[in-house]
Structure 1
Amino acid sequence: MKTQVTGVTEEDVRYAELLAAVRGMAQADAAALLRLEGEVLVPVAVQGLSEEALARRFPVQAHPRLALLLRSPQGQRLPADCSLPDPYDGLVAHQPEILPVHDCMGAPLQLDGQTWGLLTLDALQPGRFDAVQAQLPALARLVEQGIAAARTIRALADSAEQALARAEALSDDGQRAPRELLGRSPAMQRLQREIATVAASELTVLILGETGVGKELVARRLHAQSLRHAQPLVQVNCAALPETLAESELFGHRRGAFTGATQARAGRFQIADGGTLFLDEVGELSLPVQAKLLRVLQSGEVQRPGSDEVVHVDVRVIAATNRDLAAEVAAGRFRADLYHRLSVYPLRVPPLRERGRDVLALAESFLEENQHRLGARNLRLSPASKALLLQPAWPGNVRELEHLISRAALRARMEPGKGRWIAIEPRHLAGEADIAGAGMPVAAPAPVTAPAAAGDAPGGLEAAVSAVPGQTLREATDAFQRAWIEAALARHGASMAAAAREAGMDRSNFHRLARRLGLAAGRRGALG
């Protein structure tokens, strides 16, 4: 008969093969390997029983036959006319609901001095086990050795997976060294002190900050300075998880737990055991998944979907979000108890506009990366470009600066007549494609115009970028951004969301920029 198993992991396949061998030696019509989980016996492999047996759970107290076998040090053969109810009534293939008189024996299985579970063997013909009864202890020892081997193989596989996760976390993209938190501004010095204070503790940290400020780098620094630095740092982007798969990704699942679960898998909590789990964009998780995450944080126990087995994990959690979680709690979109569990030690990462001349240190580091990526030598920022970079509001923060520098480096490298070094000039920074996304003022001789639209200020964008005597570069930048946003809102029927999409910006950052420029008042109803 075909062996059914609860999953298709290597461990489950070994259980099935082991059970098939023992069943053949005993000439049994049915056999089962059950793992003890607390006070419940859970089938991990069966033969001669229907598939329904795999979904059953057998509380020891409710099944006196199984309880009796578990209490027998060397195992026991029950009398053929035993009056104790049989747990497999209705589960033996092609047999009546109540089993007739038959042969039954079983033995407890020990692993590392603890009861691992139970082996049961059944024969429909009484007296079948007369010749093998004395071999029951030897059969049990054989199964124990097989279980120990399967556990060792699983431990090696888990170790390899953790090593892979550690390598991925430390190697970044495999082509460049992991980035560091750069900057000497007072805001960054405060952040560095806070990281040094909390890193060596086991406290849960909630990293707060706008999109693109470098929350992932903060998480990496926290892990690198922690006592868990030699263990894996496992990252989960919660915003990229479909709601239907978020639970499986975090906690794992057993085969058949849901449609498409063709094999068992370990979740991120198990992979991060002993190390750190970084939950990026944790504010994007649905309320049901939040409830399950809270349980793990409270108890340190993970229960995979489709399994009654509880796995203990030792994981330090670092979470990050660009949302105002306190406001999300007030709006009913985030659990208050989970918020307090995550924010034991909140860390705020300052936006680029609060970091002063750090923008130049970051720009130089991005230029260094682009030199290697583009095969260009000696990329440098001209004095005029440095002055220009210190002006914008940087709604996209460090990520926006990185993309701007990459585009500028590419444009500068493609120009003819390069000398010993390639200068990044304002015209490279203020390319036409950058105007909306980076908020850079136009530096080209000819004014940039936009299609006329209802609601445009007189002169439109052309007027906004014209030189005005006595106007600072920051004032000129604001004037251009204000004119561009007004024109975009006019084109999109005052929809802030549509204008943000055209600008290639995150909606919240776009709204923040518009509000700073005095354009958001009265438009809150057009955010969708």
Structure 2
Amino acid sequence: MSLSITSLASIAIDLQSGIAHPDRFARLIRTLRQLLGSDATALLRYEDRQFCPLAIDGLAQDVLGRRFALDAHPRLEAIARAGDVVRFPADSELPDPYDGLIPQHSDLKVHACLGLPLFADQNLIGALTVDGMNPLQFDSFSDEELRLVGALVAGALNTALLMEQLENQTPAAAVVPAARKNDGGEMVGLSAGIEQLKKEIEIVAGSDLNVLITGETGVGKELVARAIHSGSARAANPLVYLNCAALPESVAESELFGHVKGAFTGAIHHRTGKFEMADNGTLFLDEIGELPLTLQAKLLRVLQYGDIQRVGDDSSQRVNVRVLAATNRDLKQQVLAGEFRADLFHRLSVFPLHVPALRERGDDITLLAGFFCEQSRAKMGLKQVVLSAGARELLHRYDWPGNIRELEHAIYRAIVLARAGHPAGELVLEPQHFQLAEVVPQTMPAAAADLTPGVDNLRQATDEFQRRVIVQTLAANGSSWAAAARQLQLDVANLHRLAKRLGVK
């Protein structure tokens, strides 16, 4: 069997059609899988010494969220280093990155594997991988035929990258996903909400506007701030982080603006504040809604006039700082309640961005689960981490009050539990490895409706309800007792005592 002129022509036509390139690539690899008779096909994009799946066919959906670092995947490294078609022998000892990830053959290892590196002007831009369970599956195709397929796909991928470059109006060296940042973080997802967010980040990153980032705890607001900074003209300068909720009011002014020696008891030397550290760069103020009103006035002055004054210093100095702020609170309501200055709110929210909750992102849950599985696999030195169909269904059913942060922790805990019985390091995560039943869905009425106690067990039912509420609120606030206490309108010491009595601690 070989590829006919008609087959190759159909590939070329698929690639040149006018649909958006993600759809075009998805259709292409479906066509290739049929033509080559493979069990799984994937188109990967190369960047930062790793391969990122753009389109897959025959593989588990979570593969789209995985990022395959060359250092951790010798087969993909071999493809990246090759200048030609790579055929791996059926008895190759190199682990295949897709072992366990072909749904119909999850209990079998890949036996036939082809890799086609994709080049543009001698620069590696991606790869096409073709896998099969039959060791002789691709023997009938010549290298010449496969090279032609690779050339067609490489041309289409390069065109798509150039189009992305023109749309974003970025230099060629910066043609990377908008939410990608140099220190390893990435905004993973293909849902409508996250795609819209990525577009808005691209729009605002190139400006110098202040940005207010809103969203629930754990949705990734800091990641959005990093994406804005890395896409801005300030990217070569510092991004300075400050958590306003962790600031005692007595030292908050010093943290923001610095102090001089002798300004107050304990000020034994000069201190540089966050604004000075961020000069010509970006200052990210997390949980801005927690900033005391007295400091809000001083922050407003910096935003208006660009000058700061160290505590205990009579002179002022000018700084050039872009401010990004984030909050999980409703600042408009805080303004109405007199807890947040209206003029500061308007200064900060010149360009507001909202990060959607995980439960609103549909299939992104699967992609993010795959991303964290691969990340944990590499960190823990495991051979393989696969999500079973039952585990994927469980993750989709769950409400994720703690959002992405909770998902990341849930994946890590599941891997730790699964690894206890599999020292060889080839893990399949099953529903029983996830401890999600401890947190009830976010709808309080449903939780309350489950409690239909008789008079005799009213105290027990009350304790159980309080226990559920505390656990749920902790999860929704990233396990922060202080934040949970604020949401429950309790003193944090009282919350600790109550949790201890109820057995939560």
Structure-2-length-normalised TM-score: 0.55
Deviations 1:161-209 (A, max 9, x none): xxxxxxxxxxx9xxx9521011000010010011011110011000000
CA deviation after TM superposition for structure 1 residue 309, in Å:
1.3
**Matches of 2:428 and 2:384, distance apart in 1:** 8
User: Given the alignment of the two structures, is residue 500 of structure 1 paired with residue 505 of structure 2, yes or no?
Assistant: no
1:226-375 counterparts in 2 under 5 A? 226-375=232-381
CA deviation after TM superposition for structure 1 residue 509, in Å:
9.6
Identify which of structures 1 and 2 has the higher relative contact order when contacts are C-alpha pairs closer than 8 Å and 6+ apart: 2
User: Cα–Cα, structure 1 residues 288 and 526, in superposed 2: closer, same or farther, change >3 Å?
Assistant: closer
Q: Which residue, out of 192, 198, 203, partners 1:197?
A: 203
Deviations 1:452-506 (A, max 9, x none): xxxxxxxxxxxxxxxxxxxxxxx9xx97896489999965848987643344625
User: Cα–Cα, structure 1 residues 486 and 276, in superposed 2: closer, same or farther, change >3 Å?
Assistant: farther
Structure 1 SS opposite 2:325: strand
CA deviation after TM superposition for structure 1 residue 372, in Å:
2.5
CA deviation after TM superposition for structure 1 residue 260, in Å:
1.3
CA deviation after TM superposition for structure 1 residue 374, in Å:
2.2
Q: Unmatched 5+ residue regions in structure 1?
A: 1-171, 441-474, 511-523
Q: Which residue, out of 403, 408, 425, partners 1:402?
A: 408
User: Cα–Cα, structure 1 residues 219 and 491, in superposed 2: closer, same or farther, change >3 Å?
Assistant: farther
**Matches of 2:184 and 2:478, distance apart in 1:** 27
Matched to 2:398, the amino acid is P
Matched to 1:331, the amino acid is A
Deviations 1:344-381 (A, max 9, x none): 11000000011000011111111112112322221010
Asked if structure 2 preserves the Cα contact closer than 8 Å seen for 1:394 and 1:438, the reply is no
CA deviation after TM superposition for structure 1 residue 525, in Å:
9.6
> What's 2:21 paired with?
none
* Count of residues in Structure 1 that have an aligned counterpart in Structure 2: 304
User: Cα–Cα, structure 1 residues 412 and 507, in superposed 2: closer, same or farther, change >3 Å?
Assistant: closer
Matched to 1:222, the amino acid is I
**Matches of 1:196 and 1:353, distance apart in 2:** 24
**Matches of 2:382 and 2:225, distance apart in 1:** 32
User: Cα–Cα, structure 1 residues 214 and 241, in superposed 2: closer, same or farther, change >3 Å?
Assistant: same
**Matches of 1:496 and 1:306, distance apart in 2:** 51
Matched to 1:215, the amino acid is K
Give the share of equivalent positions with the same residue, in percent: 48
Q: Which has the larger radius of gyration?
A: 1
**Matches of 1:223 and 1:484, distance apart in 2:** 48
Matched to 1:423, the amino acid is V
User: Cα–Cα, structure 1 residues 259 and 499, in superposed 2: closer, same or farther, change >3 Å?
Assistant: farther
1:109-148 counterparts in 2 under 5 A? none
CA RMSD of aligned residues (A): 3.6
Structure-1-length-normalised TM-score: 0.53
> What's 2:438 paired with?
436
Matched to 1:248, the amino acid is S
User: Cα–Cα, structure 1 residues 207 and 504, in superposed 2: closer, same or farther, change >3 Å?
Assistant: closer
User: Cα–Cα, structure 1 residues 334 and 265, in superposed 2: closer, same or farther, change >3 Å?
Assistant: same
Q: Which residue, out of 222, 228, 234, partners 1:222?
A: 228
CA deviation after TM superposition for structure 1 residue 417, in Å:
7.7
> What's 1:385 paired with?
391
Matched to 1:270, the amino acid is E
**Matches of 2:375 and 2:458, distance apart in 1:** 37
Asked if structure 2 preserves the Cα contact closer than 8 Å seen for 1:374 and 1:410, the reply is no
1:446-525 counterparts in 2 under 5 A? 483=450, 491=460, 493=462, 499-503=468-472, 505=474
Structure 2 SS opposite 1:317: strand
> What's 1:424 paired with?
429
